[in-house]
Amino acid sequence: MEEKAGRELRVGIAGVAGRMGRALIDAVRARAGVRLAAASVRRGTASVPVGDGGEEEIVARADPAALFAASDVVIDFTAPAASVAHAALAAETGTALVIGTTGLDDRECRAITAAADRAPILMAANFSLGVNLLLALTRIAASRLGPDYDLEVLDFHHRHKKDAPSGTALALLRAAAQGRGLDPEATPAALDADRNGVREPGGLGFAVLRGGDVVGEHSVILAGPGERLELTHRAGDRAIFARGALAAARWLADRAPGLYSMADMLGLDAPGG
Ligand code: NAD
């Protein structure tokens, strides 16, 4: 992609009517060197004017092709089917794409991986710096505190969240599995097992809480003989995810096609970033 040195990076935002869409608009306006180039809403939704931040009047429409045509990089926190469609457009146009949507199934993840052959795509279940460090810490803790320490991941989110466990909880479980020498991809599926009865040694577990307006909280608990280690991250504001996604967009715009993670961007050796 021709570089934007000397000119502002043109950022497109998908799904501006959503909670994260609104946080992303604010983040773009607050950051130097980037400008809002285009925005979109879901098909069947009325167009929304978003240009009151000093930029030209921008109207968010249900026109994803126009979103990609106008942008150097598109940021997408929408819904799984939408993110797959956006990845196909990224591949068609070679436009960089940052995906924050969670709850994608294996087929949807494979479609995004395939699209990344033709465009740079960065996908992360969580764009906060603290959570990405927590992923690395979880892997270390799971490896150093062996199977005598029962490991549980807890996620607590607002009542509107659609997927459970959260994408971040799944990434934490993968990090823990990696620390324990288990197959990180097989582990989350195996966790659906009935939890009646005594706990198997060395296993990984999770619990999900939903309610109110909690932006996002994750704990990794290692409960061993006579002691318990608890690692907790609390997100107080969606702005942290928006700022992280925007930093990722800036980094991604200069990359070759491929599928990238926050761990790649931050230089943290953690899985599932
Ligand atoms: P939300 O429901 O408030 O917003 C989603 C928006 O996407 C809605 O306005 C919806 O109309 C829109 N949308 C759906 N399909 C679309 C399409 N084809 N084109 C354009 N817009 C479309 O949800 P939210 O709280 O903003 O979260 C969105 C996603 O981001 C969820 O999957 C959530 O789990 C995830 N999320 C990720 C992180 C992270 O750091 N990775 C942080 C917060 C939320």
- The domain that holds 39 is classified in CATH as 3.40.50.720
Q: Is residue 259 part of a domain?
A: no
pLDDT score, position 144: 96
Read off the pLDDT band of 51 (50, 70, 90): confident
Residue 241, in any domain of the structure: no
Coil, helix or strand at residue 249:
helix
Name the most confidently modeled range: 51-65, 177-191, 200-214: 200-214
Domain hosting 101: range is 4-123
φ and ψ at 108, to 5 degrees? -65, -40
Query: Using one digit for the tens of pLDDT, what is the confidence trace for 183-208?
Result: 887 766 556 556 778 887 878 889 99
Find all residues with CB under 8 Å of 6, minimum gap 6, and list them.
none
Domain total in the chain: 2
Which of 107, 123, 139 is the C-terminal boundary of a domain? 123
What CA–CA distance (Å, rounded) separates 55 from 181? 51
Q: How far is the CA of 19 from the centre of ligand 1 (A)?
A: 7
Q: What is the CATH number of the domain that holds 193?
A: 3.30.360.10
Query: Could you tell me if the CB of 19 is within 6 A of ligand 1?
Result: yes
> Within a domain: residue 261?
no
Which residues contact residue 262 at a Cβ distance below 8 angstroms, ignoring those fewer than 6 apart?
Answer: 122, 124, 126, 127, 132, 244, 248, 268, 273
Report d(CA 73, CA 77) in Å as an integer: 13
Q: What is the DSSP letter of 218?
A: E
Instruction: Summarize pLDDT for 219-252 with one digit per residue, the tens.
Output: 999 999 999 999 999 999 999 999 999 999 999 9
In this structure, are 17 and 119 located in the same domain? yes
The pLDDT of 174-181, averaged and rounded, is 93
Q: 149 CB under 6 A from ligand 1?
A: no
Of all protein residues, the one whose alpha carbon is nearest to atom 18 of ligand 1 is 82
Whether residue 85 lies inside any domain: the answer is yes
* Banded pLDDT at 269 (limits 50, 70, 90): low
Exposed / middle / buried, residue 57 (Cβ in 10 Å: 0-12, 13-18, 19+):
exposed
Expressed in angstroms and rounded, the spacing between residue 156 Cα and the centre of ligand 1 is 17
Catalytic residues: 157, 161
pLDDT digits (tens, 9 = 90+) for 7-27: 799 999 999 999 999 999 999
Is the CB of 41 inside a 6 Å radius of any atom of ligand 1? Answer: yes
Which atom in ligand 1 lies closest to the alpha carbon of residue 80?
A: 32
Distance, CA 83 to ligand 1 centroid (Å)?
9
Domain membership of residue 254 (yes or no) is no
**CA 65 from chain center: how many Å?**
23
Q: How far is the CA of 251 from the centre of ligand 1 (A)?
A: 22
Q: Is residue 103 part of a domain?
A: yes
Q: What is the reported pTM?
A: 0.90
How far is C-alpha 268 from the chain's CA centre? 16
All residues at 6 or more sequence positions from 226 whose CB lies less than 8 Å from its CB, including other chains: none
